[in-house]
Amino acid sequence: MKKSLIALAAVAASGAAFAQSSVTVYGVVDTSIAVVKGQDTVSGMLNSGAATSRLGFRGVEDLGNGLKANFVLEGQVDPDDGTAGGFNFRRQSTVGLAGSFGEVRLGRALTASYNAVSRYDMFGTVGLGSTLAWSSAETGYANRSNNMISYISPKFSGFGVGIDYGFGEQKENRTARYAGIGATYDNGPLSLGLGYDKANNGLSVTGTEDLTTWQLGGSYDLSVVKLAAFYKETKYKEIATGDSEKLKTWNLGVSAPVGAAGVVKAAYNHYKLSDSSAKAQQFSLGYVHNLSKRTALYGTYAFLKNKDGADFALNGAFTGAGLTDSGKQQGLQVGVRHAF
Amino acid sequence: MKKSLIALAAVAASGAAFAQSSVTVYGVVDTSIAVVKGQDTVSGMLNSGAATSRLGFRGVEDLGNGLKANFVLEGQVDPDDGTAGGFNFRRQSTVGLAGSFGEVRLGRALTASYNAVSRYDMFGTVGLGSTLAWSSAETGYANRSNNMISYISPKFSGFGVGIDYGFGEQKENRTARYAGIGATYDNGPLSLGLGYDKANNGLSVTGTEDLTTWQLGGSYDLSVVKLAAFYKETKYKEIATGDSEKLKTWNLGVSAPVGAAGVVKAAYNHYKLSDSSAKAQQFSLGYVHNLSKRTALYGTYAFLKNKDGADFALNGAFTGAGLTDSGKQQGLQVGVRHAF
Amino acid sequence: MKKSLIALAAVAASGAAFAQSSVTVYGVVDTSIAVVKGQDTVSGMLNSGAATSRLGFRGVEDLGNGLKANFVLEGQVDPDDGTAGGFNFRRQSTVGLAGSFGEVRLGRALTASYNAVSRYDMFGTVGLGSTLAWSSAETGYANRSNNMISYISPKFSGFGVGIDYGFGEQKENRTARYAGIGATYDNGPLSLGLGYDKANNGLSVTGTEDLTTWQLGGSYDLSVVKLAAFYKETKYKEIATGDSEKLKTWNLGVSAPVGAAGVVKAAYNHYKLSDSSAKAQQFSLGYVHNLSKRTALYGTYAFLKNKDGADFALNGAFTGAGLTDSGKQQGLQVGVRHAF
């Protein structure tokens, strides 16, 4: 009833009057104080140490006959500077139709390949403790695609599959073209995930490479402790020359409840480049203290050691910190995560 | 009661404490898959094939004595890439006061001249099937103005008038200055609209022209079929030389319900430049299948043929497709429109 | 229950499932027509003549035991052009924890020093009538800091204190580093405020200066009339040379209710640069007519006179207007402020 006449006029020609729906406004604000030590010691404020700060709008409409329409518009927020780069909806902007057949979704979103395996990082792929396996800055891997049409299957006995195709941006449809698949199995304490995806140049660091990624992982919840592990292998193929190299990441993680409100967690990452002996090891330790289901205090410590020419840096670390002469970097982060 | 102390403090000096109001969050997510064929054949994802994707915030406050205050903040959303250019409120950002006298509105909005006539495009001025009459990219016409003060009359026996004045941006107030008027008559099955507007340079394609536009249109709803037509004539006057040319657009449209949920529609556009024999014809065919009042599936086919040097392209078509040697372009678009 | 699975998946690794909360969407749309006369006379539309136009999202969560979590994401809106520069949350983006100890808040926000004293400007630091004391354009002063950790004390017998520290952006943590304190006393008709802050280069006009500011003010409400005054002194120290100069601002203000819905107000500002005889005087007169608690019409007249080489301009005035040969500028602004 509150629909503005303007809005009605604008869409009237397309043959439909729209009823008012309920839109859910949701998000996270997560901010922390951090110290990172490499060549230099830098302290300051970092965003999103335990979950990515965001603001989103979403809704579901029941179309009858088991069919539902949904939309999500979600953008990243940088509380440290008020999102100086400008707000957008590049975390997710999709419209979908869901039914007994599963869901078909159009727009920009996380890929099924990434979703299937990234969930085994004990640090949720954010903050200083995060694995670098999917770090855009460190690996050129993109966990989202533009122009994506996705199919997400219903769950059969714990099995689910997601298939994504992202159209390219350019005339010849090659640049930034994406295709991928993710499969998951979740049954009681056991969880498994498998992903495969291929991103044509435009998503790579240099913009001149094709990236092909295999990844798999799993977790087992023993109640007193939860174990997780994943392996990711991305092949970077130089389009011009055909030369390629691989980045292989191993991750082992563990978490355990501490008292009624706390969770302690640890992870080990091993990164290795195939065409050199360059490699790095990372150890992360974290504690999350839940003040409620929506709000938590957290602390994370991470240590990274590069070898043989590798120059990885901790996820989201101050760039000014750099690495020690022996290729080391460590960081400490204490913050608050509030979801709404 | 939830008003933050910060917000209160910031406005306290202006002499008022604000009560909480109800804000309506609304919008559209419309995404489609399209193929466009000209010199090349390009397929990919296009936004807003049946209605412009958007997110908006609006509200109305009853001030008593028949007076109401209202606001609208509405911005475009590009679901294909998550609005990579950044979100803003350039679709509409206004505050208005409405009463028995009509409404006075300040800010950026669609013009009355455009609103009066654009409603006769069967394709709602969006998607591949849209008329190019008001296309900013193809004609330099701007359907919105910044810095606009608007008066919208109440309806008298179906008659209504809107008057707009948009202040210029520059010192001398000439650049981007706008003035226009739109008149409408809506009575049962008959609808008529008339618009006149003048936009000083800054709104034109080259930024060195004044645009003067006459436009009129109408529709008649015979229930089994709805007929519509409009004519638009824009004169482009080169400020430096005084030279001018005109672009004339004719449009004929028809739509008809198909079953309980479908609407089929077709339109013919004819574009002609006065200072040359350059012209183009466009034929558009569309089908909209309403899954609910808010959600629809749609398909659009459009064909465009340029003659004598004209180089129009279908509205929103992939730029990489180009035109055939004989100046043709065609496109097919299938998508989903979801309003919330 | 409406929580999307995507959002849950994204944060699941951090050890918490989030319940839905109530988010308040709020804001202001304030637009005006103005005429400014200096060297030239320029008329047009100005934003935010009585309160800064904005859109915000905020919420509070009760954590039990007297502890509360809160967040605010608030961005400026420019209704004249629909926020052409892009929407963000640079007015405020914070997460906070509040209890009997006061509140600790992380993110970008107004500083306590500014909040303590700026409230004594009768024109709310916006519009043509505003003091220039805190004008970023005229003084280089920043009333907000990025990367800020803030402590806001509870009120003791009307006394309150806020302490802010803003981390720098650069490696050495100097650029844009901020530290400040604000103290307030509010007791019945009497209100006092005191602020001190220091902003390292990056916040100054030239980016090569350190700014140190002392400011204090107060107001007394006699019911039939309210009196206010403040003094602000900012020292600009050239980092390279050590040279410094001071800008001193005196302000006297008065406001009085007129009838049931009106408020008339006036203010006098005196600006003086210490290293020259450059100075300026400003007189502002305003009337606010409240149509409701949320909506008001307002009119403001301001007159500014520069002397001995000063070149101040009215707050937010059209840049094209300039100053008369004798350094004068005056402006008139009539608008509507609507809060939601």
On whether any CB of chain C is under 8 Å from the CB of B24, the answer is no
SS3 A42: strand
In angstroms, the separation between the Cα of residue A302 and the nearest Cα of chain C is 16
Answer whether A340's CB lies under 8 Å from C61's CB.
yes
Render pLDDT for B37-53 as a digit per residue (tens, 0 to 9): 999 999 999 999 999 99
Range of the domain at A30: 22-339
Q: Residue C4 phi/psi, 5° resolution?
A: -75, 150
pLDDT at C124: 97
DSSP state letter for B33: E
| Contact state of B82 with A149 under an 8 Å Cβ cutoff | no
Q: In whole angstroms, give the CA distance from residue B15 to residue C295.
A: 11
If you average pLDDT over residues A268-286, what whole number do you get? 95
pLDDT at C41: 93
Q: How confident is the model at residue A267 (pLDDT cuts 50, 70, 90)?
A: very high
SS3 C243: coil
Secondary structure (DSSP) of B255-317: EEEETTTEEEEEEEEEEEETTSS-EEEEEEEEEEEESSSSEEEEEEEEEEEEETT-----TT-
Q: Residue C139 phi/psi, 5° resolution?
A: -125, -15
- Give the other-Cβ count within 10 Å of C205's Cβ: 14
On whether any CB of chain C is under 8 Å from the CB of B8, the answer is no
Q: In whole angstroms, give the CA distance from residue C229 to residue C224.
A: 17
| CATH number for the domain that contains residue C241 | 2.40.160.10
Q: In whole angstroms, give the CA distance from residue C116 to residue A60.
A: 45
Q: In whole angstroms, give the CA distance from residue A85 to residue A16.
A: 36
> Which of C80, C119, C292 is the closest to B146 by Cβ?
C80
pLDDT at C231: 98
Point out the least confidently predicted range of B172-186, B193-207, B326-340, C43-57.
B193-207
Q: In whole angstroms, give the CA distance from residue C148 to residue C166.
A: 4
Residue C160 lies in a domain: yes
On whether any CB of chain C is under 8 Å from the CB of B155, the answer is no
* pLDDT of A68 over the 70 cut: yes
SS3 A126: coil
Q: Of all helices (H) and strands (E), which one includes residue C154?
A: none
pLDDT at C73: 98
Secondary structure (DSSP) of B104-155: EEEEEEE-HHHHHHHTT-TTTT-STTS-STT-HHHH---SEEEEEEEEEPPP
On whether any CB of chain C is under 8 Å from the CB of B77, the answer is no
Residue whose C-alpha is closest to residue A36's, from A338, A334, A336 = A334
| Contact state of C43 with B167 under an 8 Å Cβ cutoff | yes
Q: In whole angstroms, give the CA distance from residue A80 to residue C132.
A: 27
pLDDT at C207: 65
pLDDT at C2: 33
Q: Residue C12 phi/psi, 5° resolution?
A: -60, -35
Q: Percentage helix, strand, coil, to 5, in chain B?
A: 5, 55, 40
Answer whether B307's CB lies under 8 Å from B278's CB.
yes
Render pLDDT for A175-204 as a digit per residue (tens, 0 to 9): 788 999 999 999 999 999 999 999 986 544
* pLDDT of C86 over the 80 cut: yes
CA atoms lying within 13 Å on the CB side of residue C96: 26
Q: In whole angstroms, give the CA distance from residue A168 to residue A102.
A: 25
Q: What percent of chain C clears pLDDT 70, i.e. is strictly above it?
A: 90
| B positions 299-318 inside 8 Å of A (CB) | 318
Residue whose C-alpha is closest to residue A92's, from A115, A108, A111, A69 = A108
Residue whose C-alpha is closest to residue B7's, from A117, C56, C71 = C56
Residue C236 lies in a domain: yes
**For chain A, how many structural domains are there in total?**
1
pLDDT at A169: 76
**Maximum Cα–Cα distance across chain A:** 67
Residue A252 lies in a domain: yes
A17 contacts in chain B (CB < 8 Å): 293
Q: How confident is the model at residue B118 (pLDDT cuts 50, 70, 90)?
A: very high
| Contact state of A320 with C9 under an 8 Å Cβ cutoff | no
pLDDT at C240: 81
* pLDDT of C40 over the 50 cut: yes
C41 CB-near residues (< 8 Å, 6+ apart): C35, C321
pLDDT at B259: 94
Answer whether A326's CB lies under 8 Å from C57's CB.
no
- For the CA atoms of chain C, what is the radius of gyration? 21
Q: How confident is the model at residue A242 (pLDDT cuts 50, 70, 90)?
A: confident
Render pLDDT for C102-117 as a digit per residue (tens, 0 to 9): 999 999 999 999 999 9
Q: What percent of chain B clears pLDDT 90, i.e. is strictly above it?
A: 83
pLDDT at A200: 86
The average confidence (pLDDT) of chain C is 91
Point out the least confidently predicted range of B64-73, C19-28, C67-76, C298-307.
C19-28
C295 contacts in chain B (CB < 8 Å): 61, 63, 69
Render pLDDT for B265-323 as a digit per residue (tens, 0 to 9): 999 999 999 988 899 999 999 999 999 999 999 999 999 999 999 999 999 999 999 99
Residue B3 lies in a domain: no
Q: Which ipTM was obtained for this model?
A: 0.92
B293 CB-near residues (< 8 Å, 6+ apart): A16, A17, A18, A19
Q: In whole angstroms, give the CA distance from residue B306 to residue B38.
A: 12
In angstroms, the separation between the Cα of residue A168 and the nearest Cα of chain B is 7
**Maximum Cα–Cα distance across chain B:** 67
* pLDDT of A206 over the 60 cut: no
Residue whose C-alpha is closest to residue C280's, from C259, C301, C310, C243 = C310
Point out the least confidently predicted range of A17-26, B221-230, B322-331, C243-252.
A17-26
| CA–CA–CA angle B214, B217, B218 (5° rounding) | 160
Instruction: Specify the amino acid at residue B170.
Output: Q
If you average pLDDT over residues C165-169, what whole number do you get? 90
- Give the other-Cβ count within 10 Å of C47's Cβ: 25
Answer whether C237's CB lies under 8 Å from C209's CB.
yes
* pLDDT of C21 over the 80 cut: no
* pLDDT of C12 over the 80 cut: no
pLDDT at C172: 61
In angstroms, the separation between the Cα of residue C172 and the nearest Cα of chain B is 31
On whether any CB of chain B is under 8 Å from the CB of A179, the answer is no
| CA–CA–CA angle A73, A77, A83 (5° rounding) | 120
Q: Is the dihedral of CA A11, A169, A137, C8 positive or negative?
A: positive
Chains B–C, number of C-beta pairs less than 8 Å apart:
192
DSSP state letter for A206: S
Q: How confident is the model at residue C5 (pLDDT cuts 50, 70, 90)?
A: very low
Q: In whole angstroms, give the CA distance from residue A85 to residue B47.
A: 23
| B positions 83-102 inside 8 Å of C (CB) | 86-95, 97
Q: How confident is the model at residue A77 (pLDDT cuts 50, 70, 90)?
A: very high
Answer whether A74's CB lies under 8 Å from A339's CB.
no
- Burial label for A233, CB within 10 Å (0-12, 13-18, 19+), is middle
**Maximum Cα–Cα distance across chain C:** 67
Render pLDDT for A39-61 as a digit per residue (tens, 0 to 9): 999 999 999 999 999 999 999 99
Q: How confident is the model at residue B207 (pLDDT cuts 50, 70, 90)?
A: low
HEC sequence for B311-339: CCCCCCCCHHHCCCCCCEEEEEEEEEEEE
CA atoms lying within 13 Å on the CB side of residue B1: 1
Q: In whole angstroms, give the CA distance from residue A199 to residue A179.
A: 7
pLDDT at B170: 67
| Length of chain B, in residues | 340
Render pLDDT for B46-90 as a digit per residue (tens, 0 to 9): 999 999 999 999 999 999 999 999 999 999 999 999 999 999 999
Calculate the CA dihedral of residues C301, C336, B143, A170 and round it to 10 degrees. 100
* pLDDT of B208 over the 90 cut: no
Task: Provide the whole-model pTM.
Answer: 0.93
Q: In whole angstroms, give the CA distance from residue B29 to residue B339.
A: 6
Residue B13 lies in a domain: no
A72 CB-near residues (< 8 Å, 6+ apart): A56, A57, A58, A92, A93, A94, A109, C4, C6
Q: Where are the alpha helices (DSSP H) in C151-230?
A: none
C-alpha pair distances (Å), C50 with each of B277, C32, C315 = 54, 9, 12
pLDDT at C277: 85
* pLDDT of C15 over the 80 cut: no
SS3 C5: helix
Point out the least confidently predicted range of B199-203, B269-273, C215-219, C242-246.
B199-203
The average confidence (pLDDT) of chain A is 91
* pLDDT of B5 over the 60 cut: no
Q: What percent of chain A clears pLDDT 70, i.e. is strictly above it?
A: 90
Measure CA C107 to chain center.
17
Q: In whole angstroms, give the CA distance from residue B174 to residue B202.
A: 9
pLDDT at B171: 61
Place of tokens 């809106």: C77
Residue C73 lies in a domain: yes
C75 contacts in chain A (CB < 8 Å): 82-83, 87
On whether any CB of chain B is under 8 Å from the CB of C334, the answer is no
* pLDDT of B13 over the 50 cut: no
If you average pLDDT over residues B254-262, what whole number do you get? 96
If you average pLDDT over residues C184-198, what whole number do you get? 98
